[in-house]
Amino acid sequence: MKKDKAKKKQTMPEFAFKEFTAEESRIYEEAVNKFREAVSAGKALKQAYESYAIADQELRSLIQADFLKILIAERHFAQQQPLEKIAKDLDVSLELLMDTHARMLQEVGVAAADQFSREHGPLGPKTND
């Protein structure tokens, strides 16, 4: 069985970073603080998420995804904890952490390329085909 090479080729995904309203910012801060308290108390990630109710499903998903990224940044990058340990501590799958980690790196790459383009013009050679 041959692997589909078209599926292997990946392009840089588009990311849209949300602009929060004042109320959304307040909810975001409160939720992250509650999630942080729960995780510090030894709760699993799912239990931490249950510690603060967010009515808006889209906002809830965004905050929960961001919180996981915050934990990965703090524990994996800053404290150099292996993703396996973080997964065990949070009672989540290693696959979830690896997927989130990969997305974080993609977001950083896109943000860096956007910043470079704003400062120095578009990437790649200029052609007049």
Is residue 81 situated within a structural domain? yes
User: Residue 116 domain-assigned?
Assistant: yes
Within-domain flag for 127: no
Tell me which of 31-45, 51-65, 80-94, 100-114 is least confident: 100-114
Non-local CB neighbours of 101 within 8 Å, separated by 6+ positions: 72, 76, 83
Domain of 61 in residue numbering reads as 21-120
CA nearest to 94, candidates 72, 64, 63:
72
| Structural domain contains residue 40 | yes
Enter the DSSP assignment of 2.
-
Residue 25 located in a structural domain: yes
Amino acid 28: pLDDT: 97
pLDDT value of residue 88? 97
Residue 8 belongs to a domain: no
**Over 80: is that where the pLDDT of 40 sits?**
yes
95 pLDDT above the threshold of 60: yes
The confidence score (pLDDT) of residue 71 equals 97
Q: Please give the tally of structural domains in the chain.
A: 1
Confidence class for position 126, pLDDT limits 50, 70, 90: low
Residue 115 belongs to a domain = yes
In angstroms, the CA 33 to CA 69 distance is 14
Of 105 and 12, the structure prediction assigns the larger pLDDT to: 105
In a domain, 86, yes or no: yes
